[in-house]
A and B are shown apart, each in its own frame.
Chain A
Amino acid sequence: MTAAVELTGITKRFDDVVAVDNIDLEIADGEFFAMLGPSGCGKTTTLRMIAGLEFPTMGSLKIFGDEVGTLPPNKRPVNTVFQNYALFPHMDVIANVSFGLRMQGIDKKVATASAREMIKIVRLEGLEERRPSQMSGGQQQRVALARALVNHPKVLLLDEPLGALDLKLRQEMQGELKRLQQDLGISFVFVTHDQEEALTMSDRIAVMNDGQLLQVGTPEDIYENPANRFVADFIGQTNLLEGTVEDSSTVCLANGARVHAPSAHGSGTKVAISLRPERAHIRQRGDVSAGETAVDGVVESVTYLGNARVYGIRLDFMGMEVRDENRPGAMLHEPGSEIAVSWETSAISVVAD
């Protein structure tokens, strides 16, 4: 099957700055695809290149097999939901939503009818005559969605569309976007810096940093098997235990302790063991289950979250966090307790830079 979007060797330079560095990426038809990374990582530039708002410096950009890298935005079968919505302030909702159809030369009556239908789908009935300035952020967001979707794009591009909304609304819109995407069956390419948003909504995630594409995979894949230190650190929370690979199954930690940690890195490679706070256990010293690896530590702090407690633990070479779900009978550890932190081998991943 032809990919909805296919980037091959895409590079974008602004003067001397390489914003996107030689990226290869395939986005399948009907996929909810997130591009995730810190600000300035090149994710928005990549999206803008797909939209046609920037031209790549180099490389091939195909949409359903057609090379579009040098076409202007109005010649591409994609539409964008902009970060600040970019609704036309001098037009009402109907005019905003029917704009794309009108520009394609569709008769005003037909365009207005389609716009009304789309407004119904995004649940804005009754607000057709409003100006954007008379609407709430959430409503503007829906207008932006309707304005893009009414054109039946082959791919919908979304640039941090939920960034300006408050938490409650954001969560609501997350569900709604997902539902829309499934109903329409087209690809959504979604740029975000919010890793939780990316995890909850996406079929696949591309993690970017510094113009580089670091890892592409399902949310599980990226969370469980991060490709490198940056991905491990950026997605979710983790403790990075510094060390050096000794052989294919052993890592020598920074304090000299040798722990069982299988990896494919060559011996002598500087690595970190990524241990998620919720995957570590706090045990009495000497009371570590068979098959678990343990290091000694001292409880430094306890933070009560309601559904869990997060322990700050001082190891002899670093500090780390352990998250303990607040189940009935959960053991309490007072600050100062001398304990051991343990984990199963399957709980960790060994990551290099």
Chain B
Amino acid sequence: MTVVDQPVDDAGVEATPEFEAAAIRQESQRGFLLALPSYAYLILFFVVPLVIVVVYSFATRNQFGGTDLSGWNFDSYAKLGEPIVRAILFRSVWLALITTVICLVIGYPFAYFLATRSPRIRNVMLVFVMIPFWTNFLVRNYAWRVILGNNGPLTKTTEFLGLGEQELLFSQTAVVLGLVYGFLPFMILPLYASIERIDSGLLEASRDLYANGWQSFRRVLLPLSMPGVIAGSILCFVPSLGAYVTPEILGGAKTTLLGSYIVTQFLTARNWPLGASLSFVLMAIMLSATLVYFRKGGQTL
């Protein structure tokens, strides 16, 4: 609704196109003014650092571990092709993919269950989904260290069952476990939101039209919940790909992932250009994932 209150003459006159255009212009100016604080914040603390990262990625590392902002080159990008970096990149993408798929497979049935409960039960269960967020992410990861650790409940259980001492900590499995744990709510919530909106009458109609349970899911529920599937997958994939805390705490030295590698480049190896170019590539991957989301799922969200 447009409230026209500025170019108005006290005496009512006949409407003119000029008046209308002026009113519309003022409406959009007001919108811009309201958005200005967030624009300013984002430009200062998001766009500017981003530009700095890009600039550094083309800079040169000098022999003292500093960075010379001269002699621009693509050396650091060329380094990305080196086997060790490539291996880390692939491993990160692979673990992020596994994490996303596991989250989807576990999260979908749960989201469906949630969406089909009565509102009261639904709200209680939604709170349960969010409860982990009340504790710091770092603390929760250390909790997993205890669970998976040497004398933790998991090893105790496997020993008790006669499966021997199963050491999970500092392995890729532990990292995936931690990532799934950390990002499952990000899968469940958008899935729940999109399933909840689907008219249950459509599922009934499909059953009435001879679809069995699986066909009904495959032909009606899944396609209609696709926006949620895509949103949830991206919300899991993107942070898993750049994860730093979880692999640092639960993963071993053998499972270096992108996040840790970038940190090493900046802090230990003192190779800022490489760290910057890696960050930039990571961001590019995430950005394209997000674009896919907006193209495929965004329009119906």
Type the 1/0 row for B201-227, where 1 means its CB is closer than 8 Å to any CB of A. Answer: 110111111111001000110011000
Closest to B204 in A: A53
Asked if A100 and B210 make an inter-chain contact with CB atoms under 8 angstroms apart, the answer reads yes
Type the 1/0 row for A52-74, where 1 means its CB is closer than 8 Å to any CB of B. Answer: 11000000000000000000111
**Which B residues are CB-close (under 8 A) to A51?**
208
Type the 1/0 row for B69-113, where 1 means its CB is closer than 8 Å to any CB of A. Answer: 000000000000000000000000000000000000000000000
A147 to B206, CA, bound (A): 11
A277 to B149, CA, bound (A): 87
- Interface contact tally, CB-CB below 8 A: 62
Closest to B207 in A: A73
A50 to B147, CA, bound (A): 53
A86-B199, A89-B224, A90-B224 are known contacts. Are A147 and B209 too (CB-CB below 8 A)? yes
Type the 1/0 row for B10-41, where 1 means its CB is closer than 8 Å to any CB of A. Answer: 00000000000000000000000000000000
Asked if A99 and B208 make an inter-chain contact with CB atoms under 8 angstroms apart, the answer reads no
Number of residues of chain A lying within 8 A (CB) of chain B: 24
Choose one: A52, A84, A99, A148; the contact of B219 (CB below 8 Å): A99
Closest to A95 in B: B219
A202 within 8 A of B: no
A73 to B210, CA, bound (A): 7
Choose one: A53, A79, A88, A148; the contact of B202 (CB below 8 Å): A88
Asked if B201 and A100 make an inter-chain contact with CB atoms under 8 angstroms apart, the answer reads no
A129 to B201, CA, bound (A): 23
Asked if A99 and B206 make an inter-chain contact with CB atoms under 8 angstroms apart, the answer reads yes
Type the 1/0 row for B36-78, where 1 means its CB is closer than 8 Å to any CB of A. Answer: 0000000000000000000000000000000000000000000
Choose one: B199, B205, B209, B219; the contact of A151 (CB below 8 Å): B209
A346 to B268, CA, bound (A): 105
A80 within 8 A of B: yes
A34 to B223, CA, bound (A): 36
**Among residues 184 to 242 in chain B, which have CB atoms less than 8 Å away from a CB atom of chain A?**
199, 201-202, 204-212, 215, 219-220, 223-224
Asked if A99 and B224 make an inter-chain contact with CB atoms under 8 angstroms apart, the answer reads no
A83 to B200, CA, bound (A): 13
Closest to A74 in B: B210
A82 within 8 A of B: yes
Asked if A80 and B215 make an inter-chain contact with CB atoms under 8 angstroms apart, the answer reads no
Closest to A98 in B: B209
Most B Cβ at <10 Å: residue of A83, A100, A103: A103
Asked if A72 and B207 make an inter-chain contact with CB atoms under 8 angstroms apart, the answer reads yes
Asked if B210 and A86 make an inter-chain contact with CB atoms under 8 angstroms apart, the answer reads no
Choose one: B202, B205, B208; the contact of A52 (CB below 8 Å): B208
Return A11 CB to nearest CB of chain B, in Å.
21
A80 to B208, CA, bound (A): 7
A104 within 8 A of B: yes
Closest to A72 in B: B207
A99 to B215, CA, bound (A): 11
Chain B contact residues, CB within 8 Å of chain A:
199, 201-202, 204-212, 215, 219-220, 223-224
Known: A84-B201, A88-B206; 15 extra A-B contacts, CB below 8 A, are A53-B208, A72-B207, A72-B212, A73-B207, A78-B208, A80-B205, A82-B204, A86-B202, A86-B205, A88-B202, A89-B202, A90-B224, A100-B209, A103-B219, A151-B209
Chain A contact residues, CB within 8 Å of chain B:
51-53, 72-74, 78-80, 82-84, 86-90, 99-100, 103-104, 147-148, 151
22 CB contacts below 8 A, A to B, read: A51-B208, A72-B207, A73-B204, A73-B207, A74-B210, A74-B211, A78-B208, A80-B205, A82-B205, A86-B199, A86-B201, A86-B202, A90-B223, A90-B224, A99-B219, A103-B206, A103-B211, A103-B212, A103-B215, A103-B219, A104-B210, A148-B209
